[in-house]
């Protein structure tokens, strides 16, 4: 698979990269990225970053993917970061190039994804003059980034890059923006790259847990009869999936995983309850509402999980919260046992003393709920059901694929009916809910994990927001399998309008969308279509057999809804189960 332009094969040695040469700011930037271990950057050139791209021309080891839109570049960097656990990197020019990254920066910020976002700016003397393609990107992104820099001195560039990677990848991870004026990229300085851990005033992330608080958690477990674990993306970010598995096994506590936590606990495990919240399973939601001990692990109790906060977990005598970010503890729900620290470290400490809870009767009740109220739908031989499509993909991949999604009904079906068995196998925009995320994030995930099958699940609405990135799939032969669950409407909008707005359907009709098979073929990607089960099976089988990128247009009913559903203002046990239940 060709993913980057390369004009040479010999790797530069680290010693050569660290040489104290007199080089330009652009060369210093590229060297710094290589030293930090960056193996691919996504971006688009523009006037303010042309010095940087000129320097790339003479550095054959520097891998770069030319996307077709800046939003595609940052979502690809985001998908790369989520799939690999490394820091994703993207480039954009000043003004509209930088502002086109804003949605992607906010997406990464909400989901705690480590990115280093590098933008060009107008030359230093022009800053503040409303020069051509000038925008205050540091001011714009301050609320949606972990930190940002405006580099005014070329001598400071190596230090800033080193700090940016440290900030992005430690503590609660997130995006860091480095804005570099054009004249700084052309100025020369002696290259001096710092070593060791940066010391940044005011930044001391708490990673070592308090033994006393962990002891209180262990005591609470010993006293509980109806405990439940709510595990989120922090488990995955921390690389703590095995520790969570051990913790749940030792304590015999059932586990529900948030949307972003899916894959952090194996879906086949007897203690797994499914996803909670607005479209959560009956067993998960009932467990949260009836538990006497709730242990949040790397989850931030967002509104799509808690729904009506005043009615969330009303029977929980004790709530414990394990999180690396102290600002999250107590922010949404009152917390009796705060365990601030890296999730892996906290769970390792807890596992050393963990013993089974008195939960036998509780586990029997939960298993009964799982058996009586599983996720279900009215299957059909005549109409292709999206749930069937996701079950088929799950079964044929054994839950081993990396699945990226866009946002909407298809996102929830992918969360409900694909059985995730490993961490970093679901990549989706959870906090911001960014349409257009699905395809470019799949490209980044595939670049980062060429050894894995990557499946991009999209709706026909979100697919059209970054469809231009199909060109990248074709040009670089990125073998992503692109699934469109095509119902010719903005599906979740239609569902809300039907169930909440008295079926007053307004501006949700996408019947004028393109023929996606022809669109794929226009970009040089194989396109397939399916309208029933037999065609779906054949199209998916062929897609898996073909070596390159393939788009499959699965045409589904407009009327299909995502169930269960909890409407806004309701508690999570007030579920609409659907006609099928």
Element (H, E) at 551: strand 550-555
Element (H, E) at 9: none
Cα within 13 Å of Cα(571), Cβ side: 11
Helix (H) and strand (E) counts in the chain: 23, 19
Element (H, E) at 446: helix 438-448
Catalytic pick among 27, 36, 42, 70: 70
Q: Per-residue b/e over 169-187, b at no fewer than 16 CB within 10 Å?
A: bbbbbbbbbbbbbbbbbbb
328 is catalytic: no
133 is catalytic: yes
Cα separation of 134 and 146, whole Å?
A: 22
Cα separation of 254 and 287, whole Å?
A: 9
Cα separation of 77 and 154, whole Å?
A: 25
3-state helix, strand, coil in the chain (%, to 5): 40, 15, 45
Q: How is the beta sheet containing 147-150 ordered, strand by strand?
A: 64-66, 41-43, 88-92, 115-121, 175-181, 147-150
Q: How far is CA 519 from CA 70, 163, 463, 465, in A?
A: 21, 43, 11, 13
559 is catalytic: no
Catalytic pick among 492, 508, 565, 575: 492
Cα separation of 401 and 421, whole Å?
A: 9
Catalytic pick among 86, 146, 173, 182: 182
Structure tokens at 499: 């169930």
Catalytic pick among 1, 11, 16, 132: 132
10 is catalytic: no
492 is catalytic: yes
Catalytic pick among 133, 367, 537, 558: 133
Cα separation of 403 and 264, whole Å?
A: 14
Q: How far is CA 53 from CA 46, 47, 92, 122, 182, in A?
A: 9, 10, 11, 16, 12
Structure tokens at 304: 């799509």
State the catalytic residues: 70, 132-133, 182, 492
């Amino acid at each position: 698979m060709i993913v980057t332009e390369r004009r040479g094969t010999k790797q530069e040695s680290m010693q050569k990269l660290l040489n104290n040469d007199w080089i330009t700011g652009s060369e210093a930037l590229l060297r710094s990225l290589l030293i930090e271990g960056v193996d691919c950057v996504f971006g688009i050139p523009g006037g303010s970053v042309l010095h940087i791209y000129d320097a790339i021309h003479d550095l054959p080891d520097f891998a770069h993917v030319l996307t077709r839109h800046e939003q595609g570049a940052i979502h690809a960097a985001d998908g790369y970061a989520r799939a690999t656990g490394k820091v994703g990197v993207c480039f954009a020019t000043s003004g509209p190039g930088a502002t086109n990254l804003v949605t992607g920066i906010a997406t990464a910020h909400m989901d705690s994804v480590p990115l280093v976002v590098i933008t060009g700016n107008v030359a230093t003397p022009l800053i503040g003059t409303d020069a051509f393609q000038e925008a205050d990107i540091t001011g714009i992104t301050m609320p949606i980034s972990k930190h940002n820099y405006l580099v005014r001195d070329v001598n400071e560039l190596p230090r800033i890059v080193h700090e940016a990677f440290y900030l992005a990848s430690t503590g609660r991870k997130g995006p860091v923006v480095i804005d570099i004026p054009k004249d700084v990229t052309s100025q020369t300085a002696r290259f001096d790259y710092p070593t060791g851990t940066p010391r940044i005033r005011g930044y001391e992330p708490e990673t070592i847990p308090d033994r006393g608080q962990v002891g209180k958690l262990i005591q609470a477990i010993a006293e509980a009869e109806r405990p439940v674990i709510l595990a989120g993306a922090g488990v995955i970010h921390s690389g703590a999936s095995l520790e969570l598995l051990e913790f749940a096994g030792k304590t015999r506590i059932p586990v529900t995983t948030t949307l972003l936590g899916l894959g952090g606990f194996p879906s086949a495990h007897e203690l797994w309850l499914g996803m909670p919240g607005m479209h959560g399973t009956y067993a998960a939601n009932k467990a949260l509402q009836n538990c006497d001990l709730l242990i949040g692990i790397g989850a931030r109790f967002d509104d799509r999980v808690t729904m009506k906060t005043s009615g969330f977990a009303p029977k929980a005598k004790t709530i414990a919260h394990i999180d690396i970010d102290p600002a999250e503890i107590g922010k949404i729900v009152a917390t009796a046992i705060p365990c601030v620290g890296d999730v892996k470290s906290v769970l390792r400490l807890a596992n050393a003393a963990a013993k089974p809870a008195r939960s036998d009767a509780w586990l029997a009740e939960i298993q009964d709920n799982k058996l009586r109220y599983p996720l279900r739908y009215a299957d059909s031989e005549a109409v292709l059901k999206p749930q069937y499509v996701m079950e088929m993909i799950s079964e044929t991949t054994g839950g081993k694929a990396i699945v990226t999604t866009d946002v909407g009904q298809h996102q929830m079906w992918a969360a409900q009916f694909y059985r995730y068995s490993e961490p970093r196998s679901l990549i989706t925009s959870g906090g911001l809910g960014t349409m257009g995320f699905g395809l470019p994030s799949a490209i980044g995930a595939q670049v980062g994990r060429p050894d894995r099958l990557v499946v991009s699940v999209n709706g026909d609405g979100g697919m059209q927001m970054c469809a231009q990135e199909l060109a990248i799939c074709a040009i670089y032969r990125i073998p992503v399998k692109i699934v469109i669950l095509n119902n010719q409407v903005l599906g979740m909008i239609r569902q809300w309008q039907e169930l909440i707005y008295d079926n007053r359907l307004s501006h949700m009709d996408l019947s004028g969308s393109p023929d996606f098979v022809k669109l794929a073929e226009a970009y040089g990607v194989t396109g397939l279509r399916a309208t029933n089960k037999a065609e779906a099976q054949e199209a998916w089988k062929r897609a898996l057999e073909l070596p390159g990128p393939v788009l499959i247009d699965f045409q589904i009913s407009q009327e299909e809804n995502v169930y269960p559903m909890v409407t806004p203002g309701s508690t999570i046990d007030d579920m609409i189960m659907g006609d099928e239940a």
